[in-house]
Every structure is written in C-alpha cells, then in structure tokens.
C-alpha cells in the first residue's frame, strides 16, 4: 500500500485519526500503526463474541 492508502485504512478503523496528522509519519510507521489497529480490532471482535 502507498502512504495515502495506509492513511485511508487507518482512518476507517480509527475514526478520530486526522489524515493531516497521519501524513507527517513515514510509510513504515503508518504500516506498523495499521497492523496494531488491526490486531486490536480482531481482539475486540473476539471479546464481543
């Protein structure tokens, strides 16, 4: 994914995230954050079921 796609995915999961703020980070940092968010999202789903 390119930087724009990473930011879009992060904003879908974390609706309080601001694209302008996220744009300050590197693609590597954004990718790591997205992976973290996806792990949390899966854990939350597991707890809810």
Indicate the number of domains in the chain: 1
Tens place of pLDDT for every residue, the chain, 49 residues? 999 999 999 999 999 999 999 999 999 999 999 999 998 877 666 666 5
Span between the terminal Cα atoms of the chain, in Å? 31
Q: What's the whole-model pTM score? A: 0.82
* Dist CA 1 CA 16 (whole Å): 21
- Which pLDDT score, from 0 to 100, does residue 46 have? 66
Helix axes 27-48, 3-13, angle to 10 degrees: 30
Domain span at residue 26 reads: 3-48
DSSP 16: T
Q: Which residues contact 14 (CB under 8 A, 6 or more apart)?
A: 37
If one counts every other C-beta atom within 10 angstroms of the C-beta of residue 46, the result is: 8
């Amino acid at each position: 994914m390119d930087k724009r796609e990473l930011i879009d995915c992060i904003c879908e999961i974390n609706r309080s995230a601001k694209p302008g703020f996220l744009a300050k980070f590197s693609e590597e940092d954004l990718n790591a954050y997205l992976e973290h968010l996806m792990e949390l999202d899966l854990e939350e789903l597991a707890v809810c079921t």
